[in-house]
Amino acid sequence: MSEKVYCIEAADNEDDAVLCDRLMKLIQDENLLACIADKDITAVKTHFGESKKLGYARPLYLKMLGDGIKGQGGVPFLTETSTLYKGSRSDAIRHIAHAHSQGFDYASTGMPIIMADGLYGDEEHVVPINGKAYKAVHIAALFAKCNALVVVSHFTGHLAAGFGATLKNLGMGCASRKGKMEQHSTAKPKIVKKKCTGCGTCVVWCPQEAITMNDDVAVINAGKCIGCGQCLAMCRFDAVKFDWGATYEDLQKKIVEHAMGVCSLYKGKSLFINVLTRISKDCDCMGHTFEKIVPDIGILVSSDPVALDAASLDLVEQRAGKTLPQLAHDIPYRFQLDYAKELGFGSQDYELIWKN
């Protein structure tokens, strides 16, 4: 059976306030928040972005959604999890301060921020699943305590997953630190000696103290490395390489299994939204540069995360007239969707419903 995916088309660089009004109308007209009942504690999961110059779902979308959830009698709050790598989002205190600086404060969203994985990212709930890689996944603890879930994701290219949208926001973004480490653990970086300038940036940022300098060249201790990719993100000299070819499939499988675990907690109690504007080659965590790889497309909404990501990916390729590997990273990129099908999680079969 085809899953419904609702879509609002955006002109390129259309004003967010205009799009937000149209999204609100769509949600009201189609009663898309009907999954939320009176007094439902509702987690609204998003990504606060790395800098204001880059792509992410702006606070006004969250304000509109929060108001809509309250209109259903629900009790919404914004939530996120800590990153594996060091930086402005690696613990609850810095992450919330960062969110406020990005405009996600109570005044602009009408919702408090409560981190889903506690102060240090280690508070978790073990969710049993019938996966192929796992029989249980480690999810941020708070997701086991809420009644409903709304996930707002920004579509981007991604150097390991091919693309990042709802499945990645669920699988990686809702995992505890342990869950994130399990997903990343098979990818290990190498240093290209000829390119390494010895600047030492990767040493400072490595969360595991796995990098040392030897004769002004970085050296990675593979035993300590957790495969988080922070050194890759921070090296300006292209001296860090990951063998994604050996691992992308494994990472994407693990992301999907974690996403399936999160969704198993919210059967019939969730809604997923993909924002397809300001689409960049790399995910919103990689904050160094921003280059739009396709004109803005719009906003998609569905109760099926797999159908939503499948429709989003198809629209990106149609709008660009190119495949995602031609636009971003040349790796197999439909594996997340195909693997979800293999697991019987969600549906790639969708009916696209355009709304004004």
Q: Taking the complex as a whole, how short is the minimal distance between the CB of residue 214 and ligand SF4, in angstroms? A: 11
Residue 211 binds to ligand SF4 (criterion: CB under 6 A): yes
Only segment of 3-11, 45-53, 128-136, 219-227 that touches ligand SF4 (CB under 6 A): 219-227
Hey, is 79 helix, strand or coil? strand
Question: Which of 197, 289, 318, 326: binder of ligand SF4 (CB under 6 A)?
Answer: 197
Q: Taking the complex as a whole, how short is the minimal distance between the CB of residue 299 and ligand SF4, in angstroms? A: 33
Identify which of 271, 274, 276, 262 has the alpha carbon closest to the alpha carbon of residue 345.
Answer: 262
Where residue 353 falls (left for φ over 0; alpha for ψ -120 to 50; beta otherwise) is: beta
Q: Determine whether 114 is exposed, middle or buried from the number of CB atoms within 10 Å of its CB (0-12, 13-18, 19+).
A: middle
Residue 256 binds to ligand SF4 (criterion: CB under 6 A): no
Asked whether 7 and 353 are in contact (CB, 8 A), the reply is: yes
Q: Determine whether 146 is exposed, middle or buried from the number of CB atoms within 10 Å of its CB (0-12, 13-18, 19+).
A: buried
Per-residue tokens: 78: 């914004």
**Residue 69 vs 232, nearer CB to ligand SF4:** 232
**Residue 234 vs 260, nearer CB to ligand SF4:** 234
**Residue 76 vs 227, nearer CB to ligand SF4:** 227
Q: Taking the complex as a whole, how short is the minimal distance between the CB of residue 289 and ligand SF4, in angstroms? A: 16
Q: What are phi and psi of 123, to 5 degrees?
A: -85, 120
Question: Which of 7, 226, 299, 337: binder of ligand SF4 (CB under 6 A)?
Answer: 226
DSSP string, 234-283: H-TTS-EEE-GGGTHHHHHHHHHHHHHHHHTT-TT-EEEEEEESS-BSS-
Which are the contacts of 230, defined by CB distance < 8 A and separation ≥ 6?
Answer: 84, 85, 86, 87, 202, 205, 206, 207
**How far, in Å, CA of 117 to CA of 139, rounded?**
8
Q: Taking the complex as a whole, how short is the minimal distance between the CB of residue 286 and ligand SF4, in angstroms? A: 13
Question: Which of 69, 225, 286, 337: binder of ligand SF4 (CB under 6 A)?
Answer: 225
Question: Which of 54, 111, 240, 260: binder of ligand SF4 (CB under 6 A)?
Answer: 240
> Running DSSP on this structure, what letter comes out for residue 36?
P
**How far, in Å, CA of 85 to CA of 205, rounded?**
7
**Residue 194 vs 267, nearer CB to ligand SF4:** 194
**How far, in Å, CA of 293 to CA of 326, rounded?**
10
Q: What are phi and psi of 182, to 5 degrees?
A: -65, -35
**Residue 82 vs 348, nearer CB to ligand SF4:** 82
**Residue 139 vs 220, nearer CB to ligand SF4:** 220
Residue 237 binds to ligand SF4 (criterion: CB under 6 A): yes
**Residue 39 vs 195, nearer CB to ligand SF4:** 195
Question: Which of 239, 283, 301, 310: binder of ligand SF4 (CB under 6 A)?
Answer: 239
Only segment of 104-112, 119-127, 236-244, 290-298 that touches ligand SF4 (CB under 6 A): 236-244
Sites for ligand SF4 among residues 111-170 (CB under 6 A): none
Question: Which of 220, 255, 276, 301: binder of ligand SF4 (CB under 6 A)?
Answer: 220
Question: Which of 198, 287, 325, 332: binder of ligand SF4 (CB under 6 A)?
Answer: 198
**How far, in Å, CA of 202 to CA of 228, rounded?**
12
Binding footprint of ligand SF4 on the chain (CB under 6 A):
189, 191, 196-202, 206-208, 210-211, 218, 220, 225-231, 234-235, 237, 239-240
